[in-house]
Structure 1
Amino acid sequence: MQESKRQKQVAGLLNEELNAIFLRMGLTMMNGGMISIASVKITPDLYDARVYLSAFQVKDTNEVLKTFEEKTKEIRKELGARVRHQLRSIPELKFYIDDTLDYVFKMEELFDKIKKEEEDKK
């Protein structure tokens, strides 16, 4: 099912505000790596938001996810203060690790390996 215009608008607003909140709270650098928001998906009723985090050069992504889950209440409170005039209710936040970057690196390694094997055969 495709996202509605309102879902996209709210997701964009949440993405923008959460980025600012993460910067203020010092959540962009963890475990020797960088954390950023890959995307925000919101349910049609606008009550639940899935925040996909991109972790670059982070040693333990599970620990990062645990940290965000522990700070969810504080993040949601700050978000509520920032968007209270734009949204009737503040969505519940659920954090997930976006592993598409890892997938891209693995695919590139496989393509390089295949290319090298083909060159060795020639």
Structure 2
Amino acid sequence: MTLNDIIAALSVVINGIPQALLALSVGFSAFPTSLGFAVGVISCMILQSPIPISMQAETIALAGSYGDNIREKLSVVFWSGIIMTILGITGSLNFIVDLAGDYVLNGMMAGVGLILAKIAIDGLKLDIKWLA
């Protein structure tokens, strides 16, 4: 394990904090959300798979924004988990990451940032309306 590996692991852990806050802000409960993140961490450790493509934020945003009821929200989370599990177990995820290359991955990460920025702005608009 190199210093880069340790820094990457710490960055992923630190990145989990705002994702947990995002989950709380769109209506998920704290305890189940933390259990979900714990399962993800344990699974990545068992499979020895760092995940450079982050779907958590998108899944949380979709489930929180587009799910009309608890069944729809759970379906979004469940099916995205199943798809990512299949990709991880089959090794397809590593193939996709290698195939995409650094430029595409950086563009995808920038896209995630834009999605999260939009959600933050929408949340701020709701808070301002609430205060008025």
TM-score normalized by the length of structure 2: 0.27
The structure where strand makes up a greater share of residues is 1
Question: Which one has the largest radius of gyration?
Answer: 1
The structure where helix makes up a greater share of residues is 2
TM-score normalized by the length of structure 1: 0.29
